[in-house]
Structure 1
Amino acid sequence: MSDEERRDSLADQAAAWIPPWERPTPAKPEGTDEPPAAPEPSAEPEPPAAIPAGPEPVAGAEPEILDTYPRTETLQDPVGESATELAAEPEGEGGVGVPGKRGRRRPAPPPEPAPVLDDAELRGALEAILLVVDQPVSELTLAQVLEQSPERIGPMLDEIAAGYTAAGHGFELRRAAGGWRLYTRPEYATYVERFVLEGQSVRLTQAALETLAVIAYKQPVTRSRISAIRGVNCDGVIRTLVSRGLVEECGTEADSGAFLYRTTTMFLEKLGLNSVDDLPPLAPFLPDDVEELADATR
C-alpha cells in the first residue's frame, strides 16, 4: 500500500470515528436478563480531558470560594462618607443610619438665658437677701445668685440705700468690708446698746479696747511698739484679740524680725466700716498738752 492510500485510509477512519458518549445504546435482547454487550473498544485511544493545574484540596477543609467580583477601596454611604470612616468615629447618640454603628455626638444645645428681672423684682430680691446675711456680701456674689448683670446690682443698691435714708428708717444700707449690709443708724445707737447689753457684760475689757485702738491706728505694728504706747505688757491682750478674729499677723519687721499685727475684716464688719480710712480722726480726742506728754515719755 502506498503512502497516499495509507493517508486516505486513516482520514476515512478519523472521519467515521464517533465518541463513546454519542454512540447509541444497543437494544436489550427480548426474553433475556443479560445486560447489553459493552461496545467494542476503539482502536484509537480517547483523548484525555484537560484538567487545570492547581493545589490539591486538603482533607476536611471547606472549598475555597473565588471572589470574582471587582473590589473597591471604600464603600461610600449616601451622605458621602465611607463605611471605614463611620466605623472609626466615636460612639455617641444620634447615629447617621448605619446599622450597628453610632455616628458623631451631636453638640449639646446652648443653655437658655436667665430671665431679666424688672427693677421692682430685683429690688425686692436684694432686700430679702440682705436681711438674712450675717456678713457683708459683695455685688458680684449678689449678681451670681440672682443671675443678673453685675452692672445692675451696684446702682440698684445705691438706690435702695438712698431710699432708706430719705424715708428716715431706723436702719440703713451701706458698704462695709468690701460688701453691703444693713446696719442700725447711729442716732438710735443708745437704744440698741441698751437692748443688747442689758443683763450682759461687755465682751472686751478696757485694756483690750485700748490695744485694739492702737493696732487700728498704727497698723502694721509690733508688740513692743504697742506695749510702749500703752505703757504695759500687751502679750495676753493681743492673744485674746487674735483668738477672737479681730487682729491677725501680717508678716515681720525687716530690722528686728518681730511679728507685725493688723486688724481683720471682722473688725471692719463689727464697726460697720468699709476700710480703716473711715476711722474717725484722733485729733479731737487728744489732750492739748500732748507734745509735753510725748517729751516726758522719752
Structure 2
Amino acid sequence: MSDEERRDSLADQAAAWVPPWERPTAPKPTTSDTPAEPEPSAAPPVGAEPETLDTYRSPRAETVQDPTGESAGEPEAAFDAGEPAGAGTGADEAVGPDAASGDPEGEGGGSGVPGKRGRRRPAPEPEPAPVLDDAELRGALEAILLVVDQPVSELTLAQVLEQSPERIGPMLDEIAAGYTSAGHGFELRRAAGGWRLYTRPEYATYVERFVLEGQTVRLTQAALETLAVIAYKQPVTRSRISAIRGVNCDGVIRTLVSRGLVEECGTEADSGAFLYRTTTMFLEKLGLNSVDDLPPLAPFLPDDVEELADATR
C-alpha cells in the first residue's frame, strides 16, 4: 500500500471514529432470577440556574402520603428557590432547645406542640385546713395542755391545730373559767407568756407530800434574798447585788444559775461586768406571766426605812 492510500485510510478511520460517551449502550441481559435494576435518575446539570433546581426532585419528594392513607395533594419540592432548606411550615419551624424539649418558653407546662408557645400551669392551691367546731377544739386544747412540760403560747397552739389564733385565746379563757366554776383540783392559767395546767394552791400540801415524799430541797435565806434583788433590779451586776445585800454574793449567784433561776444577759457598757436576770423557769415556778406581776415592795418595807438607810451611811 502506497503512502497516499495509507493516509486516505487513516483519514477515513478518523472521520468514522465515535467518542465513547456518544456511543449507544447495549441493554443488559435480564433473566428471571435477576431483577432488572432501575435506571438512576438524571442528575441536574452542572451550572444550572436556581430557577431550574425545583424541577429535579428526589424519589421521596414525588408523593406525600397522609397518615390516613390518602394522597396529601401536590408534591413538595426538595428545594425552593430563594428560601433556605428547612424554612417551611412543617415540623422544622420550631428550631432550638425550647422546641426540642417541648417547652417553647422554658417555663414548663407547655402545650407539647413544637412551634406553639404555652404558659406555665398555675400550681394547685393547698386545701384549707378544716375548721374545728368548738367541742373538738376544746378537746384538742385540753389534750395538748395535759402533756406539755412548760407553758405554751397561743400562737404555737394555733399553728399545731391549724386554726385561727383569734379562736384560741377565747377558748382557753372559757376552759379556765369552766375549771374554776367546776371546782377541780387543777386550774388553767397564764404563766411565762403561755398557758399551762397547775394544781390549785389549796391542795399544794398534798401534792408536795406525794412528789417530795418528805425530802424537800429549799433555797437558803441568802439565795432567796439574792433572787429577790435580781428579780426587782434586773438586769443587775454582781457588785450591785453585793452592795444592796452588804455581803459578797458570788457563790449564791452561781447556785441560782445552776438551778436555772438566773441567767447572764450581756455586759454593762461602762464597766464590762456581767448582767443577770431571772429566767422563764423563775416565772413558771412562781406562777407569774411576767416580772410586772411581782407584788410591789412598798407594803413590805418597814416604816422607818429612811432612818435605817441614813444609819447605814
Compute the TM-score of the two structures, normalised by the length of structure 1: 0.66
> Is 1:226 equivalent to 2:241 in the alignment?
yes
Q: CA deviation at 1:166?
A: 1.3
1:149-208 Cα offsets, whole Å, 9 max, x none, are: 111101101111111111121211111111111112222223323333333231533322
Task: Decide which moves more: 13-22 or 170-179.
Answer: 13-22
CA 1:80 to 1:105, structure 2 compared with 1: closer, same or farther past 3 Å?
Answer: farther
| 3-state SS, counterpart of residue 101 of structure 1 | coil
What is the alpha-carbon distance in structure 2 between the residues aligned to residue 294 and residue 256 of structure 1? 26
CA 1:99 to 1:273, structure 2 compared with 1: closer, same or farther past 3 Å?
Answer: same
CA 1:25 to 1:281, structure 2 compared with 1: closer, same or farther past 3 Å?
Answer: closer
Q: CA deviation at 1:15?
A: 24
What is the alpha-carbon distance in structure 2 between the residues aligned to residue 251 and residue 18 of structure 1? 116
| 3-state SS, counterpart of residue 266 of structure 2 | strand
| 3-state SS, counterpart of residue 138 of structure 2 | helix
CA 1:227 to 1:7, structure 2 compared with 1: closer, same or farther past 3 Å?
Answer: same
What is the alpha-carbon distance in structure 2 between the residues aligned to residue 275 and residue 153 of structure 1? 20
CA 1:244 to 1:26, structure 2 compared with 1: closer, same or farther past 3 Å?
Answer: closer
What is the alpha-carbon distance in structure 2 between the residues aligned to residue 291 and residue 38 of structure 1? 131
1:81-129 Cα offsets, whole Å, 9 max, x none, are: 99xx574627999663549999766433211111110000000000000
What is the alpha-carbon distance in structure 2 between the residues aligned to residue 146 and residue 39 of structure 1? 83
| 3-state SS, counterpart of residue 165 of structure 1 | helix
Q: Does the 8 Å CA contact 2:180/2:187 hold for their aligned counterparts? A: yes
CA 1:225 to 1:114, structure 2 compared with 1: closer, same or farther past 3 Å?
Answer: same
| 3-state SS, counterpart of residue 216 of structure 2 | coil
Q: Does the 8 Å CA contact 2:103/2:110 hold for their aligned counterparts? A: no
| 3-state SS, counterpart of residue 227 of structure 1 | helix
Q: Does the 8 Å CA contact 1:89/1:104 hold for their aligned counterparts? A: no
Q: Does the 8 Å CA contact 1:245/1:266 hold for their aligned counterparts? A: yes
Task: Decide which moves more: 85-94 or 220-229.
Answer: 85-94
CA 1:2 to 1:87, structure 2 compared with 1: closer, same or farther past 3 Å?
Answer: farther
What is the alpha-carbon distance in structure 2 between the residues aligned to residue 271 and residue 147 of structure 1? 31
Q: CA deviation at 1:290?
A: 2.6
> Is 1:66 equivalent to 2:53 in the alignment?
yes
Q: CA deviation at 1:16?
A: 22
Q: CA deviation at 1:258?
A: 2.3
Percentage identity across paired residues of the two chains: 92
What is the alpha-carbon distance in structure 1 between the residues aligned to residue 297 and residue 311 of structure 2? 20
CA 1:207 to 1:25, structure 2 compared with 1: closer, same or farther past 3 Å?
Answer: closer
CA 1:75 to 1:128, structure 2 compared with 1: closer, same or farther past 3 Å?
Answer: farther
1:154-233 aligned at under 5 Å gives the runs 154-233=169-248
| 3-state SS, counterpart of residue 260 of structure 1 | strand
1:55-103 Cα offsets, whole Å, 9 max, x none, are: xx99999999967799999999999999xx5746279996635499997
> Is 1:8 equivalent to 2:8 in the alignment?
yes
Q: CA deviation at 1:229?
A: 2.1
What is the alpha-carbon distance in structure 2 between the residues aligned to residue 38 and residue 178 of structure 1? 98
Q: Does the 8 Å CA contact 1:139/1:179 hold for their aligned counterparts? A: yes
1:133-156 Cα offsets, whole Å, 9 max, x none, are: 011111111011001111110110
**Structure 2 unaligned regions, length at least 5:** 72-98
| 3-state SS, counterpart of residue 46 of structure 2 | coil
Q: CA deviation at 1:4?
A: 36
| 3-state SS, counterpart of residue 203 of structure 1 | coil
Q: Does the 8 Å CA contact 2:185/2:200 hold for their aligned counterparts? A: yes
Q: CA deviation at 1:234?
A: 0.7
| 3-state SS, counterpart of residue 256 of structure 2 | helix
1:221-269 Cα offsets, whole Å, 9 max, x none, are: 2111211222221111112222332212223334433222111122111
Q: CA deviation at 1:211?
A: 1.1
CA 1:8 to 1:220, structure 2 compared with 1: closer, same or farther past 3 Å?
Answer: same
Larger radius of gyration: 1
Q: CA deviation at 1:272?
A: 1.3
What is the match of residue 52 of structure 1? none
Q: Does the 8 Å CA contact 1:90/1:104 hold for their aligned counterparts? A: no
**Structure 1 unaligned regions, length at least 5:** 43-56
Task: Decide which moves more: 279-288 or 3-12.
Answer: 3-12
Q: Does the 8 Å CA contact 2:226/2:241 hold for their aligned counterparts? A: yes
Aligned length: 280
Task: Decide which moves more: 188-197 or 227-236.
Answer: 188-197
Q: Does the 8 Å CA contact 1:227/1:233 hold for their aligned counterparts? A: yes
Q: Does the 8 Å CA contact 1:86/1:101 hold for their aligned counterparts? A: no
